[in-house]
Structure formats: structure tokens, C-alpha cells
Amino acid sequence: MTVTDSKGSQVIIHCDMDAFYASVAELDDPTLRGKPVVVGAGIRGVVLSANYAARKFGIRAAMPVGRAKRMAPNAIFVSPDHHRYSEISAKVMEIFASFTPFVEPLSLDEAFLDITGAQRLLGTPREIGEAIRKRVHQECGITCSVGIAPNKFIAKLASGHCKPNGLLEIKEERIITFLHLLPVSDLWGVGPKTAEQLERLGLRKISDIANTPLETLKRALGDATGEHLYELSWGRDQRDVIPDEPDQSISAA
């Protein structure tokens, strides 16, 4: 259950490790720092993570390793070490839990934190976010990006827009200004098929969806999807932070 302060508003943080697998490789082998690093095994395997130097060549997670090697033949390719990733992830999650008991891991390298009730003891949302980033770097040797907002959807968007190694706070009064300039593909739940449907409707920015009548969206996309995207287009997300165990997946951050 989400905890709210005396004013009834909640504060959610989304913490996302930067290029997690590649960052752990650099942590364990400092000679890799500053070089393009790609984590992925075998020519027929797929890229699990690429650091930001490698991404400049267009390399992305889920790309075939063989293709990545053609794109950046001088990049350093390392094999994954899942035991090590789990070890670092456990330390990161312990740090999160020291700030609030309301931690919802999404994968080994990211989580939502409800810090609403922590503010009186630990400071402003920005101060808490910076403290988390500092401890992750000092105690785990890697960096994370932190998004802060009144709900999970906007917090996750914020962390994605301050990568790598940044912090972005979107307060209630800034949500619409921030959100409506973004492409529809940034909406939670919009995959390639839905994006294609929205493109056919001439809906390219989130503001386009927000300014389309709800009934029109329902007719075009179905009741559930239409209402879901309409609510998100106005920055509304009622999901609580639910403490749980990580699902052992990894994001492409």
C-alpha cells in the first residue's frame, strides 16, 4: 500500500543502473574503462549490455553479437557473469531498502522506491535521490540514474531522460509540460504494433493522444488500451509500489 504524506501526495523514485552488465565488467577490470565494452557470448549469441562508448557505434541490447562485431570490430567483447551480477544487485537492493521498506525490484538492475514516508527523516526527494546515487557508487562501484516523480510512470520516464549517471525530478506541476513533448513510443505499453496503429491515426506525440477524445481512442484501439493510453497521456498512474523479489531479468539500460 502506498504511503502518503500529510498533503496526500506521494513521491516515487525509479533507480536504474547504467549499462549494468558492462559496468560490472568495468568494475572487475578497470582497464576496460573508457573503451567500448559489449557483454555477449559467441557470434550467434545476443548483446546483453553495451556501455555508452559502445552505443556510439549503434550497438544495443538484444542485437546479435555477430552484427555488433561488424559495427564495432575494435570493441571489447566479454562473456556474462550472472553470479557476479546477482551479487552486485543484492548489494544495490540492500542500499535501497535502507532508505525505505517500500522497494519494488523490476529486474536485477532497477527498482521503484516509495520514499513518501522517508522525507521527514531523510530530507527532500532530491536529497534522498542524491544520497542513493552516492551510496551505490561508493559501495558498489557503479553508477545509477534516478527519476523522481509523483507516480511510477513519470519516475521511470525521468530516469530514462537523465542517463547516464543523472537525476531528474519531475514535480506535479511540470508533468504535462515534460510529458506532452515526448513521442508516443515513450508510453508504457506501446510496442511496435500499437505504435503503428497510432501512427496511422496521426498520433505521434503524447500530446496528440491527450487531445484526442477518449471514445475515439477506444474505438480505434479497444476500450482497455484506449483508456490506458489516455490516462497515461495526462500523467495519471495509480499503481502502488509493491515490495517484491526481483524477477532475475535485466533491462537494456
Residue 196 buriedness (CB in 10 A; 0-12 / 13-18 / 19+):
exposed
Whole-number average pLDDT of the chain? 93
pLDDT band per the 50, 70, 90 thresholds, residue 252: low
Can you give the pLDDT at residue 2? 45
Strand partners, 10: none
Instruction: Give 50's DSSP letter.
Output: E
Residues 30-88 have pLDDT tens digits of 999 999 999 998 878 999 999 999 999 999 999 999 999 999 999 999 999 999 999 99
Task: Please state which of the ranges 126-130, 191-195, 207-211, 214-218 shows the lowest mean pLDDT.
Answer: 191-195
Containing H/E element for 197? helix 192-200
Instruction: Give 195's DSSP letter.
Output: H
Note the pTM of the prediction, 2 decimals: 0.90
The residue annotated as part of the active site, out of 94, 110, 169, 173, is 110
Q: Residue ranges of the alpha helices (H) in the chain?
A: 20-28, 52-55, 65-71, 82-97, 119-122, 125-140, 152-160, 175-179, 192-200, 206-210, 214-221, 223-233
Angle between helices 20-28 and 82-97 (to 10 degrees): 100
pLDDT at residue 184 is higher than 80: yes
Stretch 238-250: mean pLDDT, rounded? Answer: 72
Cα gap 193→36, rounded to integer Å: 33
Q: Side chain identity at 28, as an amino acid letter?
A: D
pLDDT band per the 50, 70, 90 thresholds, residue 253: low
pLDDT at residue 247 is higher than 80: no
Joined grid coordinates for residue 94: 540492500
Cα gap 82→52, rounded to integer Å: 21
Whether the Cβ atoms of residue 53 and residue 93 lie closer than 8 Å to each other = no
Q: For residue 110, indicate whether it is catalytic.
A: yes
